[in-house]
A and B are shown apart, each in its own frame.
Chain A
Amino acid sequence: MLEFILAAVRAAIPAGTPLLYGTLGEVYAERSGVLNLGVEGMMIMGAVSGFAVAQTTGSAGLGILAAAIVGGLLALIHAFASITLRVNQVVSGLALTMLGLGISGMIGKKFVGQPLAARLQPIHIPGLSDLPILGELLFKFDIMVYLGILLVPALWFVLYKTRIGVTLRSVGENPSAADALGVNVAFVRYAAVAFGGMMAGIGGAYLSISYAPAWIEGMTAGAGWIVVALTIFAIWDPRRALLGAYLFGGVRVLQFRLQPLGVSPNLLNMLPFILTILVLWLSSGQAAKRRIGAPAALMTAYSREER
């Protein structure tokens, strides 16, 4: 039994890593007051561009870099539409998702079926990797898993303990007040949305460069939507994003581990989405308490004239 749990946890961490990157990015975007439903589109574009670059150049690092750039650029489309043009953020985000799914299928065509030569390899940490049980459990992953974990305290610190974080949060809570204090609201929002896109791109690239590692059309398979739900689950806090991402990774992995025990695979296939609905339901109750609710200005465009 212990072995079963250890193996499941060991598998859940890489499965949750793409979700972690996506969620950390979306937390920042939404903290600035911009909801981006284009996460799925940015992730899949990150997956395809990351794979394409890694395969052509033979470097996984360059692939991830390319994915971050592509994700960031796509997010700028959403930023332009929702911040500058002040159109409905839901519509613009949905368009981004569909755009990404379509374009990725098109440009990924010739990479379908190719096994990746430049896969990310697990890194060996002297001492730690050799520990019994713990070494196998926690210290046999590739660099992106650790980077994701390290980003959590870093992003939490920036958000709550630095001037940048205060500025970001103030823009998301009360843009007029921030503007009155001399904060460039549009710039902060652009930056946060672009950062969110880069993180989503990296999350997607993790799927195609390390996890699969291969490119398939539609390979994110709803991961972007789970990210949107996880952002709410995390109550816009990077620390809870870590918990949520690994939890959802675990649910995905359990699909295959519980099957031999006679649990219907169809039911297990639904689990991530049932959990998503559950999370949205539970957290809407929490949001009602206001104290830990969404950024007050989420989904509202800011315009100085209408102040």
Chain B
Amino acid sequence: MRKNFARLAMFAMAFMLVLSACGGAPTTAPAAEEPAAEAPAAEQPSQEETLKACFIYVGPIGDIGWTNAHDVGRRYVDDKYDWLETAYAESVPEADSERFIDRFVVEEKCHVVFTTSFGFMDATLAAAQKYPDNYFFHVSGYKRAPNMGTVMADFYQLYYLNGLMAGALTKSGKVGYVAAHPIPELVRHIDAFALGVREANPEATVEVNWIFAWYDPAKAREAAEALIANGVDVLAFTEDTATVVQVAEEYTAKGQPVYSFGHYSPMAQFGPNSLVSGQLVDWGILYEDILTKIHLGVYTTKNLETVDYWGLLSGGMNLGAPVSVHLGGDFDTPINPAFESQLKAVKINDPILGEISIYDLIFKRIEQMKDPAVLFDPFTGPINDQSGALKIQPGQRLTVFELNTIDWFVEGVIGKAKP
């Protein structure tokens, strides 16, 4: 009797193990609307018929940042065009992306695959070489192939503008930055932010705290509180939660003002009294541009080697690309009105513009960055690195490739670019 019980128990344990393994696999479930029953997908892909675009996300679509913004873009194009169907996989581990791409191409018959994390870069390139008749677009990387283009809506100009505000608002002269992973995108953002901070306040420093996670509210909170404990009174961040904004609002509410900048999604609601501005993105119009061009035959699997969407305030490097990035903590609110007077009161002396308030300078810079005749760039020399050595010669600018592979911090940043 006892033995039977034990056997039964072992069986139950094994069952539990299997069950938990199934539950633990991070959400391979494609979109609910994925129409498994539609037959044409099984046939030869054809430009005239339905185009299927599949998205591989690094985080959950319910985050308040990066992945959610991509999914908003996906839903926008999916709703707008009848000839388009989409599917997605969320929370895909970077090491597992190859398997997911294979599944999308082979089983789901996706014609176009978008991979939306820097860590997916090499797997996407390998897949592009493996499936030469499919289209691949990698977001935030720099490697391309005849059938693989790159896309980015880059925030470095916005971070620079946010930096100007942070430099003007800090009282302690210490600004903090909660950063997810040490990759070129973040280094570029931190540098641009620091360039803005130092333009408004040459003595100020930007202290960086790496949390090694894209989505971990507890770590983001610990990092933000550690920075505040070090005397930081303005916080910016690149990771996918609204935690930093919430922490700043908590401190502000209890009488120790800490200001913050939203990232990726409208976060004004989390920090009505402390959120100054932020960076916003509209992926939908970039995806729309790419997918309609594939649909119309402008893009083929032979000519993507030079297609690099580099979404900036000017519309970016791809001429005629739509503007996908916006300044603000909420759409249509570039700067929280509560901070307007403070930003107008701080004045600096610009070698070209003369005495100008930070508030006016911000809008002047936006104009200059949008104007194709000026194309102001924050990464224009002379710029020193952390050790004080001249890194960018006077008048020289970083190329897109240099910006995409940047791995050093500018003067004034405290922390390691390669921790």
List the interface of chain A (C-beta within 8 A of B). Answer: 3-4, 7-8, 11, 15, 81, 85-87, 91-92, 95-96, 98-103, 105-106, 109-115, 207, 211-214, 216-217, 219, 252-253, 255-257, 259-260, 262, 264-266, 269
Contacts and interface: CB of A to CB of B under 8 A. Distances in A.
A255 B211 CA distance: 9
A98 B13 CA distance: 11
Interface string B407-419: 0000000111001
Interface stretch (B21-29, B37-45, B321-329): B21-29
A244 to B, nearest CB: 19
Contact of A113 (B5, B6, B63): B63
Given A105-B26, A115-B242, A260-B209, 14 more contacts: A4-B229, A7-B229, A85-B5, A98-B20, A100-B20, A101-B20, A101-B24, A102-B22, A105-B24, A113-B62, A113-B64, A264-B419, A265-B210, A265-B419
B21 A260 contact: no
Given A11-B225, A102-B24, A207 B68 contact: no
A212 B217 contact: yes
Given A7-B229, A81-B9, A264-B419, A216 B216 contact: yes
14 contacts: A86-B2, A99-B20, A101-B20, A101-B24, A111-B62, A212-B218, A212-B221, A213-B217, A216-B216, A252-B222, A256-B219, A256-B225, A259-B210, A260-B414
Contacts of B318: none
A85 B6 contact: yes
B57 to A, nearest CB: 12
- Closest 5 A-B residue pairs measured CB to CB? A102-B23, A102-B20, A113-B62, A7-B229, A98-B20
A105 B23 contact: yes
A269 to B, nearest CB: 7
A216 B62 contact: no
B413 to A, nearest CB: 11
Contact of A87 (B9, B19, B225, B242): B9
A154 to B, nearest CB: 28
B416 A112 contact: no
Given A102-B23, A106-B23, A115-B246, A257 B13 contact: no
B91 interface: yes
Contacts of A3: 229
A95 B209 contact: no
Contacts, number: 127
A260 B207 contact: yes
A102 B26 CA distance: 9
A252 B211 CA distance: 12
A98 B62 contact: no
B241 interface: yes
B230 interface: yes
Contacts of A269: 212
Chain B interface SS verdict (over half):
helix
Contact of A95 (B16, B207, B419): B16
B24 A211 contact: no
Contact of A91 (B13, B226, B270): B13
A256 B209 contact: yes
A98 B22 CA distance: 10
Interface in B196-232: 207, 209-212, 215-219, 221-223, 225-226, 229-230
Contacts of A265: 210, 212, 419
A265 B210 CA distance: 8
A96 B19 CA distance: 11
Nearest to A255: B222
A83 to B, nearest CB: 12
Q: Which of B24, B68, B212 has the most CB of A within 10 A?
A: B24
B27 to A, nearest CB: 7
Given A110-B62, A256-B226, A257-B226, A115 B270 contact: yes
B17 A98 contact: yes
B149 interface: no
A125 to B, nearest CB: 15
B60 interface: yes
B400 interface: no
Contacts of A114: 62
B10 A87 contact: yes
Interface in B225-248: 225-226, 229-230, 241-243, 246
Contacts of B27: 105, 109
A259 to B, nearest CB: 6
B63 A102 contact: no
Contacts of A8: 229
A113 B265 CA distance: 12
A257 B62 contact: no
A81 B419 CA distance: 46
Contact of A256 (B211, B215, B270): B211
Nearest to A219: B218
B13 A81 contact: yes
A7 B232 CA distance: 14
Q: Which of A105, A110, A113, A257 has the most CB of B within 10 A?
A: A113
A214 B19 CA distance: 25
B217 A86 contact: no
A93 to B, nearest CB: 10
Contacts of B13: 81, 87, 91-92, 95
B207 to A, nearest CB: 6
B17 A216 contact: no
B393 to A, nearest CB: 30
Nearest to A101: B24
A61 B229 CA distance: 30
